Amino acid sequence: MNDLMERLQRDFGVDDITVRKPALTTFRVKKDSAETLIRELRDREGYTHLNFMTCIDYIEDGIFTLVYMLHNYDKKLSLGVHVDISRENEDMVSIHTLWAQAWTYQRELREMYGINFPGSPRLEEDFCLEGWDDIPPMRREFDTKEFSEQRFGHREGRHSEEPRDHMKVELYPNRGGDEK
Amino acid sequence: MKNSLNTDDTLENSGLTEEEQLLFSNARPRAYEPYPIKAVEDFANWARANSLWILAFGTGCGAIELRPLMTARFDANRFGVAGRPTPRQSSVFIIGGYASVKTLKRIIRSYEQMQGPKFVICLGICPINGGMYFDSYNTINQFDQYIPVDLYATGCMPRPEALVASIMALQKKIKAGECDGANRYVENFDWYKANQKKVIKNWDMPDYNW
């Protein structure tokens, strides 16, 4: 594993190498060399399985972090490849040529985050959200509660309690919810 | 080319292309009128109550509760309940919990294709006020805004016993002649349709799916 990491550091300039578990290591790589690196891992290093790919929205830093989770069946090791892309210029190289199932993930990422993967098949088709007409819902600037209230409305009479205060009143009714 | 059957009282079917408009009916649904003789209507209601055929369309997590109904333990057949694979043959639509907007479109389509008399049971808290999905971007909060509901069985999720109890309650209601959901749908058709189109943005089916 260390040999591989040293080689990746030399060839691709990966950084932020973290051993999360004995069988799981993650590292960060630049957007431009990500596709080449993943291709190399698949073809040369035996990381033949794409567990999943997903996205994390770091709105404070203005970036999306894409996570590609690869698995090596011979060594029983997993690798998490993190790629930072800008929230504004959300283009990423498609990897559907490496794993055919990746285009489903990419379709979902385009719908939920608005990331574009040029060349990925059926990218513009609706996946879960048919006829969506707002900003992509998994972006953190999207206010789901406000959207739900405005679009779906609420039935009168629904209210919620702070669990801590509610249980105090339940437990000490004679003292008006006072613990002492 | 205009459909020659167009009159003032037909539906617009504006979600369809001009070619498709010729292929689909644009007639409005009609309300059910009970038999003039009360004894005959009561007999018909008794027959309806004892032959409830459920549409096997699992629309949420509550679909899991429908499966055990047919097993030996709960044996829903003793109430005349049977599962049906198509809306054309079924009379009861059990909404199994939350309905996403994508599913709601299919629910509306299936419900309108069901032939009367038809009844709707809502399972769980989600169709009532959204339940744990009250702030979701993709799950509706009040199901009765879109489809008329005859009976609610609340809980998260209600067990099959509760479902059996709600079937018995529905039978009681039908025998008393109080299940008028389908008629309410016809009478307030424009209101229901406006609500449906407010959440379903890609309306590409006829206004009423005959």
Residue B60 confidence (pLDDT): 85
Mean pLDDT over each residue of chain A, to the nearest integer: 91
Question: What are the angstrom distances between the C-alpha of A15 and each of A27, A50, B33?
Answer: 6, 21, 75
| Mean pLDDT across B6-28 | 84
ipTM of this predicted structure: 0.84
What distance in Å separates residue A146's CA from the closest CA in chain B? 8
Instruction: Quote the number of domains for chain A.
Output: 1
Instruction: Tell me the pTM.
Output: 0.87
What is the per-residue pLDDT for A111? Answer: 93
Q: Is the pLDDT of residue B150 over 80?
A: yes
Cβ-based contacts of A129 with chain B (< 8 Å): 101-102, 138
CATH number at residue B144: 3.40.50.12280
Question: What mean pLDDT comes out for the span B64-71?
Answer: 88
Question: Does B3 score more than 70 pLDDT?
Answer: no
**A151 lies within 8 A of chain B by CB:** yes
DSSP B80: T
Smallest CA-to-CA distance from B65 within B139, B160, B136 is with B160
Domain total for chain B?
A: 1
Domain that holds residue A111: 2-125
Whether A135 is in a domain gets the answer no
Confidence of residue B5 (pLDDT cuts 50, 70, 90): low
Taking the C-alpha atoms of residue B14 and residue B205, their distance in angstroms, rounded to an integer, is 9
Task: For residue A175, give how far its alpha carbon lies from the nearest alpha carbon of chain B (Å).
Answer: 32
Let me know: does B30 contact B18? Beta carbons within 8 Å.
Answer: no
pLDDT at position A147: 93
* pLDDT(B152) > 60: yes
Boundaries of domain holding B86: 18-199
Span B87-122, pLDDT tens digits:
999 999 999 889 999 999 999 999 999 998 899 999
Cβ of B137 and A154 within 8 Å? no
Read off the amino acid at residue A39. Answer: R
Taking an 8 Å cut-off on Cβ atoms, the answer to whether A148 and B130 are in contact is: yes
Whether A147 sits inside 8 A of B137 (CB atoms) is yes
Nearest chain B residue to A112 by CA: give it. B137
Residue B1 has what pLDDT?
43
Residue B142 has which token pair? 């009040």
- Is there a contact between B73 and B90 (Cβ–Cβ < 8 Å)? no
Tell whether B138 lies on the interface with A, counting CB pairs under 8 A.
Answer: yes
Give how far B122 is from chain A: nearest CA, Å. Answer: 16
Instruction: With respect to residue A139, please indicate whether it lies within any of the assigned structural domains.
Output: no
B198 touching A (Cβ < 8 Å): yes
pLDDT (0 to 100) of residue B8: 64
With a pLDDT cut of 90, the percent of chain B lying above it is 62
Say if A176 falls within a structural domain. no
A147 interaction partners in chain B (CB closer than 8 Å): 137
- The pLDDT score that the predictor gives to residue B52 is 93
A145 touches chain B (CB under 8 A): yes
pLDDT at B137: 92
The verdict on A137 touching B (C-beta cutoff 8 Å) is yes
Strands lying side by side in the sheet with A24-29: A15-21, A24-29, A77-86, A63-72, A49-58
Supply the CATH number for residue A115's domain: 3.30.460.80
Please tell me if residue A153 touches chain B, with a CB cutoff of 8 Å: yes
CA distance A18 to B73: 53
Q: Using CB atoms and an 8 Å cut-off, which of residues 29-58 of chain B contact chain A?
A: none
Residues of chain A with pLDDT under 70: none
